Amino acid sequence: MASLVANAKGLNDIELVHILTLSNCSWANKEYQDLFKVNSLFIGAGVREAIAQGYADYTPCFLSEIPSLFEEGILPLDVALVMVSPPDEYGYCSLGVSVDVVSSAVKSANYVIAQINPNMPRTFGHSFIHIDDINEAIEVAQPLPQLPVPVLDRVTEQIGQYVALLVDDGDTLQLGIGKIPDAVLKYLANHRDLGIHTEMFSDGIIELIKNGVINNSKKTFHKGKTLTSFCMGTQRLYDFVDNNPHIEFYPSEYVNAPAKIARNDNMVSINSAIEVDLSGQVVSDSVGYQLYSGIGGQVDFIRGASMSKGGKPIIALPSTAKNGTVSKIVPCLTEGGGVVTSRGDVHYVVTEYGIASLRGKSIRERTLELIKIAHPKFRDELLVHARKHFRVPEYQKQTPVGVPELGDIQISKLTLKDTSCLLRPLTPSDERHLQEFFYSHNKQTLLMRYNSCSTRMSRENAAGLVAIDQSTDLALCIIDKHEETENIQAVGRYYFINRKNSAELAFVVRETQQHKGMASLLLKTMIDVATKRKLTSLIAYTKVDNIAMKEVLRHFDFSEKVVDGFVEFELVL
């Protein structure tokens, strides 16, 4: 490129087509606008200003479909300018760290000019071009552009921890680049048998491969191999992929094809976004009218993961931008913002405040799920907007409130007698889950918990039980999670008694899950929270014949006395 610029006398109107470029993009400077017409298929920092000022173009397209634009002549290429490794003894050069759309470019272009760079790693897979297929070549040693390992902040670490909760042993991952993917990888160190099928990766996977966490042994497509189309990172990463037979680079039309992605069972796709509206629409290539990045492979992998058996498509983003002054969970999209991933494609959205599960949820349920993970200072505003447009009913007045005493991560993953489950606060979006939980009870359970055989749990009643001020009262649940299905298995709550600085306890466990320790776990957590809140005591009332609840309370050394046919339990804190 430097040589082309230096010898450009007499040339004009050359269209430069590229995806993300990391090197010095001087050819995109305004002084060369008559020489080069830049057409970016994914916007990077080097061309963002040129596109914003209107003397460069952006063409939105899925990464999986860019090769067909070249091959079908929709975006014809006269010349492909590529960088390759030196040829081996058989005359084959490697496209190295960037096979992606470069592979189709060299096949489709009328003329191929290559820079043979001894610093280009020799990578395996479908990454080779024979020296005879290169029309002209120059040999120039040049360091590859590097991306430093990002420094993680508290918000990013919390996002990483929540995303890691969605990843199970044996899953296959697609990760992007930057702080959030690196944070996710950091919290996967205790997982086992993970696989990689991703369009790109960075330094974060090196340690997990070396430690055996990523071994690709459970993959159902390209088992035993890390599959990618390009990588970007430090020199350590480039040294790691050089002559590494365990990592294979394939063209984008293969790696990013949703049908190919879906051949991996338990495919987990992790992508980011600029903003998400309350219905689940995802904007990720523009900030309003300002074009910022590109579609890239987000939709390819979101759809591939959703088609995968046991797959999980995830959008992960901080809850705010501009130093906390702007919410990234928005009531409606910023004018000019382009939807990259539709509301029908999104299954999970994750921020530092938790996980919103959207698949199969109504607009009302999605709205409450997304408000739950918005920054607390924007939740009231979002709820007011949602009520204005009838997305939530009038009786839904309480915005989600976390339980600070549970720490930054409000969800705990646990195993109780071989049952894998999650402990977390109840939220307003659990209305349907609580209804289903109520209707699962038999008459005996209803008598013991409610002292009557209640036969109805309306939406309004359920909303009143899940939409509470968790900073005063407390409502926790244990859920089991099969793929993307959530079922409440136990609920524990207390109601604050202001005049006594005390609280009254109640809990109920699904009949099929009793005697697994769920009630004890809920009670222990409630005691811990009450202690931190400096309550003086906890009390509970139960029927004389409620043997199970009496045993649980006695295990925690509650005192007891019989009052009017009920047993009154008390624990002084």
Give the phi and the psi of residue 523 in degrees, each rounded to 5: -65, -45
Amino acid identity, residue 394? E
C-beta separation of 80 from 93 below 8 A = no
- Looking at residue 178, the DSSP 8-state letter turns out to be S
Which residues partner with 349 through β-bridges? 315, 356
Task: Tally the residues of the chain.
Answer: 573
The residues annotated with a catalytic role in the active site are: 199
CA distance 507 to 438: 12
Residue that is written with structure tokens 């010898």 in the block: 7
Phi–psi pair at 340, nearest 5 degrees: -90, -50
Q: How far apart are CA 177 and CA 275, in angstroms?
A: 18
Shortest CA distance to 513 belongs to which of 420, 447, 448? Answer: 420
Give the whole-angstrom CA distance, residue 101 versus residue 42.
12
Q: How far is CA 202 from CA 146, 149, 176, 427, in A?
A: 10, 8, 8, 36
Identify the sign of the CA torsion 453, 457, 461, 467. Answer: positive
Let me know if 473 is exposed, middle or buried by CB neighbors in 10 A (0-12, 13-18, 19+).
middle
Q: Residue 376, SS3?
A: helix
Task: Return the number of other C-beta atoms located less than 10 Å from residue 169's C-beta.
Answer: 13
First-to-last C-alpha distance (Å) of the chain:
73
Number of H helices, E strands in the chain: 18, 35
Helix (H) or strand (E) holding 15: strand 14-18
- d(CA 530, CA 276) in angstroms, rounded, equals 36
Pairing of strands 502-509, 537-543: parallel
> Around Cβ 106, how many Cβ atoms within 10 Å?
20
Please tell me the chain's helix, strand, coil percentages from 3-state DSSP, rounded to the nearest 5.
30, 25, 40
Q: Of 195, 189, 190, 193, whose CA–CA distance to 172 is shortest? A: 195
DSSP letter at 194 equals B
Residue with tokens 């199969």: 360
CB atoms within 10 A of CB 515: 9
